[in-house]
Structure 1
Amino acid sequence: MTMVSMTQSPALTAADYEAMAAQLFDDIAAFSADTQGISRPAFSDLETKTLAYLEQFGLSHGLTVTYDAGQNALFSLPCDAEADAFVLVGSHVDTVPQGGNFDGLAGVIAGLMCLVRAQSEGTSFARPVKVLAMRAEESAWFGPCYIASKALLGRLSEAELRTRHKGDNQTLDAHMESIGIDMAPVRDGTPLMDASSVLAYIELHIEQGPLLVQKDLPAAVVSGIRGNFRYKTIRCVGEAGHSGAVPRAFRRDPVLAMADLLTRLDESWLTVVQLGDDLVLTSGMISTDVERHALSRIPDQVDFSLDVRSQNATVLDGMHDLLAQDIRTIERERKVRFELGEKLSTAPALCDPAIVEAMSGAMQQVGLEPFIMPSGGGHDAAVFANAGVPTGMVFVRNRNGSHNPAEAMDVSDFMIASEIIYAYLMDAQG
């Protein structure tokens, strides 16, 4: 792994910056490759190695690098290192298991490209800028999402700290403590940073859907981010029996009860969408007990997850009420019992209108027709927005979705999206 150093004269070209970004992506992909795709687990050695690599890169280009109370890396121009108020450009470096290399990491590298360009050209931003490389955004490892940003803003709950890692079954609290985070303020809900010092939070992210590909656009400005409620595990408990010997009237089949619940929720989803509201619903994990399930056995229980998202808080509340109502009906009709685990939730978040307008102007400045769209996926930006920090996002075109090895962001598109953020940082006051 070779570290690029390109701060010497003559001034760097657009091709130089693109090559620099491509090497950063390639190097990090190489040391975090899994049997398929990329795995950088939250609070893992690989996540720490990624931050250390980015630290080395930053220092080699004359940037100031520090670590905050959440053990996230902070980068800045030397002249902005002691700034009391600043624009924060950030994202995360962890991934889902066997995911892609660009989800999260692109936002961090975009911020670094802006800093390196300003440092190389000897210019300064309209307002001080810091780049935040966060740990632990993905919910795949513990259940809660946005862990680092919630901890920074004092919004990580006791229930979330009690959740357990999908691999070693240790608590989130224990994992955070193991990397050197002082957990006393986190447990008390005390913010690890002063949100009033953040003039704006800006995040670049790959689009996780197909819209920009279909519209043949390299980038877009984001208008808002879906909130969610989710249950990592819902258990439906019934009664085991022989698959051929128990008539339907006497069955207490938890799998069919689960299917009944998901079908009812799907019908409600269709109704919400037909009425013009925003909603998506997913059950991504379903399992019976591997030690006891069999082809000829009615299972006695099934576990499944539920993730419900919308940009409308009223829709989320309504869907949660429907969930409770459907559960009561199915329990009575099918003689089963549902056990809901901890409810995890994040409120919908709107991007700051002034930042959306300024980002749209930046798109025009780099030669693109402004395009504004909502975000279906969740991001750390939602936590900052809901904490009162003016927030903006830029999406980058990305084929094949995300959270899978087939993520396909072109670095040329990434550079265009980064240029939008650079233009905003240089002259926008939104």
Structure 2
Amino acid sequence: MSALAAADSNDRELDIETARYLFEEIAALTPDTQGVSRPAFSQVETETLRFLEDFARGHGLEVWYDAGANANFSLPADRGAERFVVVGSHVDSVPYGGNFDGLAGVVAGLVCLVRAHRRGERFARPVHVLAMRGEESAWFGPCYIGSKALTGTLGESELKASHKGDGRTLDDHMADIGLPMDKVRAGTPLIDVSAIEAYLELHIEQGPLLVGKDIPAAVVSGIRGNFRHRKVRCIGEAGHSGAVPKAYRRDAVLAMADLLVRMDESWSTILNMGDDLVLTSGMVGTDPQIHAMSKIPEEVCFSLDIRSQSARTLDDMRRLLKAEMRQVEKERKVRFELDEEMRVEPAMCDSDLVEGLKAAMERTGQEPFVMPSGGGHDAAVFSAAGIPSAMVFVRNRNGSHNPHEAMELPDFADATDIVYEFLARHR
């Protein structure tokens, strides 16, 4: 083995051990009865950032917090750079989630900084690593909260969203950790967006494609947008389950089921036409305090999450949803009520960055592979703010948003190598 090859091998082993340490320590810091739980804008999230801060300072890196209470890291010489590349992701998780969703991107950025500092190297452009709060929608309903606050795009209705646990508003929770809420409410960016030359995010793949193709990493071409309703109400009329004939029923549950079947059939039609779409109703329920096995349900509440890479398809689905609701209301004598819509536009990754990442992937000895992202990411928010953005995926078994995420560290090292090689040479 040549001296250069031996040095590269040693770097890889050190990178893997660094990543292993960070993942294991943070998992031990943030456990739940299953997996991990790092609630957005919580003390647990703060403790995670403080742990990363201590680690980074111990490895000779600069650390500071922005106005959004997110942690930032850099090489000492790059702290005061007027313009820089951001490598970032989020540290929060869903309840009972996996340890790698979001955190892998932060750890990758730190591994790149630690490697460069160890080698005494500088990147082609100054690099700041960003560990963000509040990406997951599981806690409040809105998604990408931290990045929206940074870019001044967090809406009034999103700030009014209530926490699934304590019922307090997002505004209250953000104020608790010291964010300047007057600026957030006014839509004032909390960072100088013009100083960011590019935003890069490494993330685990949340589907099965890389596993199926036996590929450890990929460059991402674009990110699905979505529109969501956290709570849709279907209101019918209560009645005795044995005494009311079908023709006289106003069954809210069957009406909801009718609507979802209609939407599912339209989903199949859209896919057969070659368009991109996914549709999910992840929360469904009647109130057990007022409903019973022998009672026709008078109300059911459910969520809707509709995603596509096409803004036109999202607009079509919005119109279709309202049309189908009107039809079901007429046929089943019920009423639907939509809460305020939450929307994120689809985002295409910057073509120059995609080509640069493909070239970096090839230089690391990997066959370049490009794929779209089904899940949403903070990269879409930075892209919408006019910042060139791109992503790298890491192979990950068993999906995400569950305790069984199974990213392997050699795959993580392969993906991190792509990011490091890009940062080292791309101008």
Indicate the residue corresponding to 1:190 in structure 2.
Answer: 188
Cα distance in 1 for residues equivalent to 2:413 and 2:11: 12
Q: Are 1:152 and 2:154 an aligned pair? A: no
Structure 1 position 390 matched with structure 2 position 388: yes
2:3 corresponds to: none
How far apart in 2 are the matches of 1:17 and 1:425? 16
Runs of 5+ unmatched residues, structure 1:
1-8
2:322 is paired with a residue whose SS is helix
> 2:378 corresponds to which residue?
380
Q: Is the 8 A contact 1:195 1:389 kept in 2?
A: yes
Q: Confirm or deny: 8 A CA contact 2:11 2:115 kept in the other structure.
A: no
Match of 1:31 in 2: 29
Q: CA deviation digits over 1:331-353, x for unaligned, max 9? A: 11111111100100000000000
Question: Structure 1: how far apart are the matches of 2:355 and 2:44?
Answer: 38
How far 1:12 sits from its partner (Å)? 5.5
Paired residues of 1:12 and 1:120 also in contact (CA < 8 A): no
Q: How many residues are aligned here?
A: 420
Look up the equivalent residue of 2:68 and give its one-letter code: G
Question: What is the aligned-residue RMSD (CA, Å)?
Answer: 1.0
**Code of the aligned partner of 2:384:** N
What's the CA shift string for 1:26-81, capped at 9, x where partnerless? 00001111001110000111100100000000000010000000000000011000
Deviation digits for residues 117-172 of structure 1 (CA, Å, limit 9, x no counterpart): 11110000000000000000000000000000000000000000000000000000
Aligned to 2:244: 246
Partner of 1:350: 348
Partners of 2:341 and 2:323 in 1: CA distance: 16
- Structure-2 separation of matches of 1:353 and 1:290: 51
| TM-score, reference length from structure 1 | 0.97
Q: Secondary structure at the match of 1:13?
A: helix
Cα distance in 2 for residues equivalent to 1:213 and 1:299: 43
Distance 1:380 1:153 in 2: 11
TM-superposition CA deviations, 1:84-118 (whole Å, max 9, x none)? 11000000000000010000000000000000011
Separation of aligned partners in 2, 1:182 and 1:21: 33
Quote how far apart the aligned CAs of 1:299 are: 1.1
Aligned residues of 2:161 and 2:170 also touching (Cα < 8 A): yes
| Partner in structure 2 of residue 61 of structure 1 | 59
Residue of structure 2 equivalent to 1:6: none
Q: How many percent identity over aligned positions?
A: 64
CA distance in 2, matches of 1:246, 1:368: 66
Find the aligned partners of 1:166 and 1:337 in 2 and give their Cα distance.
Answer: 25
CA contact (8 A) 1:139 1:146 kept: yes
Deviation for aligned residue 1:13: 3.0
Pair 1:105 & 2:103 matched: yes
Structure 2 residue identity aligned to 1:181 = L
Alignment partners' CA distance in 1, 2:14 and 2:349 = 32
Partner residue of 2:265 out of 258, 267, 276:
267
- Which residue in the other structure is 1:338 paired with? 336
Corresponding residue of 1:405: 403
| Residue 421 of structure 1: how far off its partner (Å) | 0.1
What SS does structure 1 have at the residue aligned with 2:420?
Answer: helix
* Partner of residue 233, structure 1: 231
Change (3 A) 1:339 1:256: same
Within a 5 Å distance, the mapping from 1:79-98 to structure 2 comes to 79-98=77-96
Q: Is the 8 A contact 2:218 2:393 kept in 1?
A: yes
Q: Deviations over 1:340-392 (max 9, x none)?
A: 00100000000000000000001101101100000000000000111110001
Give me the whole-angstrom Cα distance separating, in 1, the residues matched to 2:144 and 2:304.
18
Does the Cα contact within 8 Å between 1:42 and 1:137 map onto a contact in 2?
Answer: yes
Amino acid in structure 2 at the alignment position of 1:79: A
SS of equivalent to 2:63: strand
Q: Hey, what's the Cα distance between the residues in 1 that align with 2:363 and 2:256? A: 52
Deviation at 1:282, TM superposition (A): 0.1
Unaligned runs of 5+ in 2: 1-6
Instruction: Name the SS of the counterpart of 1:117 in structure 2.
Output: helix
Distance (Å, rounded) in 1 between the aligned partners of 2:340 and 2:160: 10
* The 10-residue stretch of structure 1 (100-109 or 192-201) with the greater mean CA deviation from structure 2: 192-201
The alpha carbon displacement at 1:292 in A equals 1.6
* 2:386 alignment partner AA: G
Q: The residue matched to 1:110 in structure 2 has which SS?
A: helix
Residue 374 of structure 1 aligns to which amino acid in structure 2?
P
Aligned-partner residue type, residue 358 of structure 1:
G
Q: Deviations over 1:294-345 (max 9, x none)?
A: 1111111000000000000000000000001001111111111111001000
2:301 match: secondary structure: strand
Letter in 2 for 1:296: S
What is the CA–CA distance in structure 2 between the aligned matches of 1:342 and 1:194, rounded to whole Å? Answer: 30
Which amino acid in structure 2 is aligned with residue 50 of structure 1? T
Paired residue for 2:292?
A: 294
**Normalising by structure 2, what TM-score?**
0.97
Once residues 71 and 255 of structure 2 are traced to their aligned partners in structure 1, the CA distance between those partners, rounded to angstroms, is 47
- The equivalent of 2:166 in structure 1 is 168
Match of 2:307 among 309, 315, 331: 309
Contact 2:40 2:93 in 1 (8 A): yes
